[in-house]
Structure 1
Amino acid sequence: MFIDVPSRHRARLVWATPMLVLVSVGVFLWLVTRAPETRLLVLERWGAVPELLSPSGRLDLASLRQLLTLATALLIHADWLHLVGNLLFLLIFGLPAERALGGGRLLALFLLGGVVANLSAVFALASSRSVIVGSSGAVSALIGAYLVLFPRARLGFVVPLGLFLEFVRTPAPLMIGVWAALQLAFTVVGPGFGAVAWSAHAAGFAYGLLHGALSRGAVRRRHRGA
């Protein structure tokens, strides 16, 4: 897969997206080398647990450490498939978004979008002992912002046709629209469709749309000053 994003600023140095990837991989590699009991303890202590964050259906603001888990949970992944899937989309959408927004704004989008997404999952799973981990909600926010910032971008796919490979280019809004529709459908289906907090994806995507819309002025000013 490749992305064609017309831009005069492809040479901009990016650091936030690679840093997020490296930290996520590092945390995962550290976890898989721990004993099962330690892994479980880390997940329960630094993952977002709805029962602890919202014991009575309302967000508990008394425990700072519990509130921090809304952010720390973004860097913890359950398995290789979970990790690779999230980081693939983080690279695809995060790198061009960072070139437009800058590293600091990209990092803020990732963290704030992820926190909003995890909050949505906490309320959707209120009083549950399930542990919410992974950067899916934050990546969903990046995808939403990408759609607003690059409405004319195209996604390219390599499609195997027998003995030949064919490059197919599809408008990014079309593919993202299909992705968003699936997230909404999975949100309605709920926990019955796998152990995924689908409502977090939808909330993260909505936040990304808003964040991208509010950032367009800053992006234009950043490009004019380059």
Structure 2
Amino acid sequence: NSWGVIPAQINAAITNAFFNPAAGIVVFWRSFSLLFGMFLHGSFSQILGNLLFLWVFGKTVENVLGARLYLGFYLAAGILTGIAQIIAEPNLTVPLIGANGAIAAIVGAYVMKFPHAKIDSILPLIFVYIPIELPVFFYVFWWFAQQLFYGIGSLNILPSGVNSFSIAYWMQIVGLFIGVAFMRLKK
């Protein structure tokens, strides 16, 4: 629980900081969990998914930005998307872990830099897999639509006022926009 930031705890600590200045130290210390949480994952499938996206998009973006700028971009995007998730769902009671927001920023950067790229894919049919090339925009649009749909659904706060969804969809949505904005500013 202490490795990933829990928005409800940050929200409570910020509220208490108005009455108790020492609570500001708690907010500061717990905010480091945004950084630590990027290197943890909730499941093996989350790790595999992030590695797949890094393999497809990450190396190309790193070649464009250079290793140092890429690392700074990755870490900053991860932290900013964590802050966005805290703002979007301040009552969330599960820890924010995983690199999904930073990975989404890499995908956004890739789309801006290589808008006409095609990705080798396989189309699974009943008993056959057909290899095809699909435009990167197809993947990103489909992925974004899913994140937006589920993200809006995650805002349906339960009657108790506490949301317990385990996927931080808003981190991923904001991450995509951070990547797009970063590459537009870099031009």
TM-score by length of 1: 0.69
State the 1:167 CA deviation.
Answer: 2.4
Q: Which residue of 2 aligns with 1:181?
A: 145
1:195 is matched with 166
Within the alignment, does 1:95 sit opposite 2:95 as a pair?
no
Given that residues 191 and 197 in structure 1 are in contact (C-alpha distance below 8 angstroms), is that contact kept between their aligned partners in structure 2? no
Matches of 2:148 and 2:124 in 1, distance apart? 30
Q: Is 1:207 matched with 2:162? A: no
Map of 2:3 onto structure 1:
46
| Conservation of the 8 A alpha-carbon contact between 1:57 and 1:126 | no
Amino acid corresponding to residue 175 of structure 2 in structure 1 = G
- In structure 1, the residue matched to 2:20 is none
Letter in 1 for 2:167: V
- 1:194, 1:121 → 2: CA distance? 12
Aligned mates of 1:129, 1:208 — CA distance in 2: 27
CA contact (8 A) 2:148 2:173 kept: yes
Asked if 2 retains the 8 angstrom alpha-carbon contact of 1:159 and 1:166, the reply is yes
162-171 or 124-133, which deviates more? 162-171
AA in 1 matched with 2:183: G
Match among 159, 166, 170 for residue 130 of structure 2: 166
Q: Residue 159 of structure 2 aligns with which residue?
A: none
Q: CA RMSD in A?
A: 2.4
Which structure 1 segments of 5+ residues have no match? 1-43, 217-226
Task: Supply the distance in 1 between the matched residues of 2:92 and 2:130 (Cα, whole angstroms).
Answer: 47
What is the distance in 1 between the residues matched to 2:129 and 2:153?
A: 36
SS of the residue aligned with 1:168? strand
Amino acid at match of 2:169: W
CA contact (8 A) 2:89 2:155 kept: no
SS of the residue 1:47 aligns to = coil
Check whether the contact 1:94–1:106 (CA below 8 A) recurs between aligned residues. no
Give the aligned partner of residue 115 of structure 1: 79
Q: Residue 84 of structure 1 corresponds to which residue in structure 2?
A: 48
Identity %: 24
Q: Distance in 2 between matches of 1:179 and 1:146?
A: 14
Preserved contact between residue 94 and residue 166 of structure 2 (Cα < 8 Å): no
SS at match of 2:92: coil
Separation in 1 of the partners of 2:124 and 2:49?
21
SS state of the match for residue 55, structure 2?
A: helix
Instruction: Please state how far the C-alpha of 1:162 moved relative to its aligned partner.
Output: 7.3
Please, what TM-score do these two structures have when normalized by structure 2?
0.82
- Structure 1 distance, partners of 2:126, 2:148, is 34
Which residue does 2:29 correspond to in 1?
65
CA distance in 1, matches of 2:127, 2:90: 51
AA aligned opposite 1:210: A
CA contact (8 A) 1:74 1:135 kept: yes
